[in-house]
Chain A
Amino acid sequence: MSGSPWVPHDPLLLLVFQIGLGVIACSILMLLAVIVLRLRLVYRQRRERRYTELWQPLLAECVFAVPTNLPQIPRGMRYHFLKLWNYHHESVVGNARKNLEVLAEAMRLDEIARQMLTSGNTRERLIAIMTLGHLGDRTQWHELRELVTDASPIVSLAAAGALLTIDAGATMAWLVTVMAAREDWPLSRVVAMLREAGPSRTTASLISAIQAAAQVEGGSRQVVRLLRMMETAHTERIAPVVGQIVRESAEPEVVAAGLRLLQDPRDLDTVRACARHEAWFVRLSAARVLGKIGEAADARLLTGMLADPSWWVRYHAAKSLLALPSASIEDLEKIRDAHPDRYAVDMLSQVIAEARAS
C-alpha cells in the first residue's frame, strides 16, 4: 500500500488518511452490529412468543384455580415470565389474584425476584421490585426501604409502591414525608399510589406530615406538595388543618392549594377573604370554591369578580355564579345586561352560551 499513489507520504496526511480508513471500518462494524442486533431481537421475540403461548393459558387458568402442572422457567426467560405474571396480577382481583400468588410461590418467583433485585440492569430491578411488592414479600423489606432513597426516581418510586403494597400501615407515615421531600417523584404517580392505598390509610399520616412541614421555616414547597397529596384523604378530617393553614399562611401558593380542598361551608368567610387576594391564582381558587360551597348572598361578590383583570378569574366567577343555589341562566342574563364592564359582559355571554350548549 505504501507504494500506491493514493496513499499519502506526508506523515500528518497519512494520519488523517488512517483516521478515514478507521472510520470506514467503524461503519462496517456498526452495520454488522445492526444486523446482529436484529437477528438477536428476532430470536428473542420468537422465543418470547413461544413461551407466552405456553404460559398465557396457565396464568389465565388462575382465574378459576391454581394449575397443577407447572413448567420450569428457563434462565433467559425469567424477566419475560415475571412481566407476564405482573401483567396478569395487575389485571385481575380477588381469588384470581390470590391464585396467581400461590402459583408464584410454587414457581419460586420470590427467589427469582430477590436475585434480580441486585442486578445492575434497571429493567430487571424494576420488575423484581414490582414482583416482591405483589407477593407481599417481607424478607426484602429492608432492601426495599433502602431503594426508596435510591437516586433514580424510577427505581425509588417503584420501591415505595412495593412497600405500600406489602404493608401500607407500617410504612405510610415515613413514606409520606419522603413523598413530600422528593420533588423528583412526579406528583401524579405519588397521588396514584396514595389513592390506591385509600384515605383510611393515608389521612392521619398526611395530617401529621403537613403539620410538621408548616412549622418549618421555608417549608412552603413541601406544604404545597402535601396539600396536593391531601386530595386523596378524608375531606372532613383534613378540613380543620387545611382551614388553619389557609388562614395563617402568607404564601399565595400555599393558600391557593389549600383553597382547593375546602368544601365545608364553615370555611366560607376564609374563602370570601381570599376572593380579594392580590395573587390572581388565589382569587381564581376562591372563585371556584365559591361555586361549590357559596350561598346565594355570594352572588354580589362573584359579580364584582367578573371585572377582575384575570381572564380565568372572570371565567370561574361567571361559572360559579351559575352554580350558586337557585341561580339560573336568566339570572346571569340579567346581571349581564346590567353590568357596566365590557369584559364581564363578554364573559357572561360565553358562560351562558356554554351552559345552553351543555
Chain B
Amino acid sequence: MSMNDWILGLQWFFLLYFIGINSGYLMLNLLSLGSLKRYVEAHSLDDLPRGISGFELPVSILVPAYNEEATIGGSVRSMLQLNYPDYEVVVINDGSKDGTMEALRREFALVPFPEAGWQRLQTKPVRAMYRSTRYPSLRVVDKENGGKADALNAGINASRFPLFCGVDADSVLERDSLKRVVEPFLEDPRTIASGGTVRIANGCRVESGFLTSVGLPRNLLALLQIVEYLRAFLFGRLGWSPLNAVLIISGAFGIFRKDVVVEAGGYRHDTVGEDMELVVRLHRLYRTRRIPYRIVFVPDPICWTEVPESLKVLKNQRVRWQRGLSESLTMNIGLLFHPRGGAAGWLAFPFMAIFEWLGPLIEVAGYIFMIAAYLLGLVSSEAFLTFMLIAFGFGMVLSVSSLLLEELSFHIYPKPHQLAVLLLVVIIENFGYRQLNSAWRLWGLLLWMFRSKARWGEMKRSASWQTGGGKS
C-alpha cells in the first residue's frame, strides 16, 4: 500500500468515525424525545394538590464531605428541609483537614452517640458517631480519610433505611427531589437504582439552601458547561433509560437500593469513578445472573451543583472523569458482548467504549491528522473542508438539539435574554471548547494507562451562588 493509500484510508476512517459517533448521539436524541414527551405528559397534573399515602419508601441521604467547611452547613440545612415524609441525613466526614467537623458541630449541635455498628462493608475506622440535638434526623459519621467511595460505604453502614441517596456536599436539591427520584421504585419493584438530572448552580440565587431563581453564570466556562450538561443529561442518559441501559448515575444525586449495593460489595475504593463503576457493575451482576432489574433515569431537574470556572480546575475534573470512565469500563469488561448482556452489554457499553472512552484519542488524532495533512498538502482542500463541515456541523446539531429538548420540556431558563445567550453558546462551544475537552479527556486516558494514583476530587469552590449574586 502506498503512502497515498494510507492517507486516503485515514481520511475516510476519521470522516466515517465522526459521522458514526454523531449519528449514534442523534439516535439517542430521538429516543430521548419520546421518553421526555411521555414523562412530561405523565406528570402534567403533578401540581394539583395531593396527599401523602404513607407508602413512600424511607430514604437515607448520604453526604460524604471532605474539606467542605465553606458549604457544608448550608447544604445540610437544605437537605433537612426536603418535602418528603420519611428520611434521614447521614453526613460522613472523611477525615477532613479543614474545619468541616467543627462547622457541623457548631451548626447542628452534635453530640456523640453510641451506635451498634452494622459493618457489612469494610471501611477505614470510624472515630465517632454523632447525632444532632436540633435535628433528630441528622447523624454524622466522623471517620479516618479513605476517599469518597470509602466515605459512602461508611454512610451505607450507618444508614437506617432501605434506599440510600448519595449526594455531593455542595449539591443544592429541589424540595421535592426525593419524591421524584423515588417514584421509579414505587412504580416498579424491580428498580434498583435511579438518578436525576443535575443542573448548574453557578449564576443562580440560592437562599437558605434552596434555589430561589435560575440565572446564567457570567463566567464563559460555566456557560459552556450549561449546554454540555443539557447534552449529557437530556439525551446522554435519558436516551438509554427506556432500553434499561443507563450506565451512569451522577454521584451528585443518585438513589440505590441498599441491599443490592451491599450484596454487590459497595463502592470500590480503587477508582475515581466510583459512581459510574457501581452502576456498570450492577448491570453486569444482574444481567449475568439473569435477575430482572431496572436502572432508571429521571429527567426532572432536581439537583444543582457548582461547576468549575477556571481552566485548571475544569481540566482536572475532566481528566478525573475520563479516568473514572476508563476504570469503570475495564473493571466490568465482562459485560461487553456478554450473551446475556442485553442492551447494556451490546449497545450502551460498546457505545461508551468506542465513542466516550477511546473517542478522545480518535477525535484528537483526527483533528491533528487532517490539519497537518492539509497543511502539508497531503489531503485536498475539499476533503479538509468536508471533514470540518462534518465535525462542526454534527457538533452544532447535537448542541442545538439538546436545547430543543430543554425547550420542549422544562424551560428552566425562563427569560428571553437567557435563551438568546444559550443559543449563542450552543454555536460557540463547537469552536474550541469541545476540542479542548477532547484533549483533556485524552490526557485523562493517558494518565489512566500509566496508572497514576487516584484521590478525592478536590475542587476549589467559590459558592458565590449560595449568597446570590448571579445574573438573573
Contact of A123 among B44, B113, B183, B389 (CB under 8 A): B44
Q: Is A8 interfacial (CB-CB < 8 Å)?
A: yes
Task: Determine if A304 is an interface residue (Cβ-Cβ < 8 Å).
Answer: no
**B377 at interface, CB cutoff 8 A:** no
> In the complex, what's the smallest C-beta–C-beta distance from B407 to chain A, in angstroms?
5
With A17-B386, A195-B53, A350-B114 in contact, is A34–B407 under 8 Å at CB?
A: yes
Bound Cα distance A195, B399 (Å)? 47
Beta-carbon contact of B400 and A34 below 8 Å: yes
Looking at chain B's contact residues, the main secondary structure is: helix
* A31 to B188 alpha-carbon distance, docked (Å): 37
Find A23's partner among B45, B380, B394, B423 (CB 8 Å cutoff): B394
In the assembled complex, the Cα of A184 lies from the Cα of B419 at a distance in Å of 38
Cβ of B278 < 8 Å from any Cβ of A?
Answer: no
A26 nearest CB neighbor, chain B only: B397
Residues of B within 8 A of A38 (CB): 407, 411, 416, 419
A34 touches B116 (CB 8 A): no
Question: A121 on the interface (CB 8 Å rule)?
Answer: yes
Within 8 A of A (CB), among B413-450: 416, 419, 423, 426
Within the complex, which residue of A19, A30, A186, A191 is in contact with B400, where a contact is CB–CB below 8 Å?
A30
* Residue in A24, A86, A358 whose Cβ sees the most chain B Cβ within 10 Å: A24
Q: Is the CB of B382 within 8 A of A27?
A: no
User: How many interface residues does A have (CB within 8 Å)?
Assistant: 59
Q: Are A16 and B56 in contact (CB under 8 A)?
A: no
A34–B419 touching, CB < 8 Å:
yes
List of A residues within 8 angstroms of B116 by Cβ: 311, 314-315, 343, 346-347, 349-350
The distance in angstroms between the C-alpha atoms of A59 and B115, with both chains bound, is 55
Q: Which residues B152-175 have CB closer than 8 A to chain A?
A: none
Q: Does A106 contact B (CB under 8 A)?
A: no
> In whole angstroms, what is the CA distance A26 to B404 when docked?
12
B: number of interface residues (CB 8 Å):
54
Q: Which residue of B lies closest to A342 (CB)?
A: B116
Find out whether the CB atom of A13 lies under 8 angstroms from the CB atom of B383.
Answer: yes
Find out whether the CB atom of B188 lies under 8 angstroms from the CB atom of A184.
yes
Measured between beta carbons, the chain A residues less than 8 angstroms from B118 are 311
CB-defined contacts of B263 to chain A, threshold 8 Å: none
Partner of B53 from A41, A191, A353 at Cβ < 8 Å: A191
8 Å CB contacts to A: which residues of B396-416? 396-397, 399-401, 403-404, 407-408, 411, 416
In the complex with contacts A34-B407, A122-B42, A153-B187, A346-B381 CB distance below 8 A: no
Chain B residues whose C-beta falls within 8 Å of the C-beta of A31 in the assembled complex: 400, 423, 426
Near A by CB (< 8 A), chain B positions 350-392 give 380-383, 385-386, 389-390
Are A34 and B389 interface neighbours, CB within 8 A? Answer: no
In the docked arrangement, what's the CA distance between A144 and B455, Å? 58
Within residues 18 to 37 of chain A, which ones have a CB less than 8 A from any CB in chain B?
A: 19-21, 23-24, 26-27, 30-31, 33-35, 37
Compute how far the CA of A200 lies from the CA of B219 in the bound complex, rounded to whole angstroms. 62
- Report B-chain residues with C-beta under 8 Å of the C-beta of A189: 53, 186
CA distance A349 to B113 in the complex (A): 9
Decide yes or no whether B189 CB sits under 8 A from chain A.
yes
Is B49 interfacial (CB 8 A cutoff)? yes
Do B383 and A188 have beta carbons less than 8 Å apart?
no
| A259 within 8 A of partner (CB) | no
Is B54 interfacial (CB 8 A cutoff)?
yes
Q: How far is the CB of A63 from chain B (nearest CB, A)?
A: 15
Residues of B within 8 A of A86 (CB): 45, 48
Q: Which of B103-151 contact A (CB under 8 A)?
A: 113-118, 131, 133, 136
CA separation between A121 and B41, bound complex, in Å? 8
Docked complex Cα distance between A39 and B415 (Å): 11
A87 / chain B contacts, CB cutoff of 8 Å = 47-49
- Tell me whether A218 is interfacial, beta carbon within 8 Å: no
What would 6 more interface pairs be, CB under 8 Å, given A8-B380, A23-B390? A34-B400, A37-B408, A83-B45, A122-B44, A126-B41, A353-B113
Q: List 17 A-B contacts (CB under 8 A).
A: A5-B381, A9-B382, A10-B382, A20-B393, A27-B393, A31-B426, A38-B419, A41-B411, A126-B45, A127-B44, A184-B187, A191-B54, A192-B53, A346-B116, A349-B114, A349-B116, A350-B113
6 A-B pairs with least C-beta separation: A20-B389, A188-B55, A23-B393, A192-B53, A346-B116, A8-B382
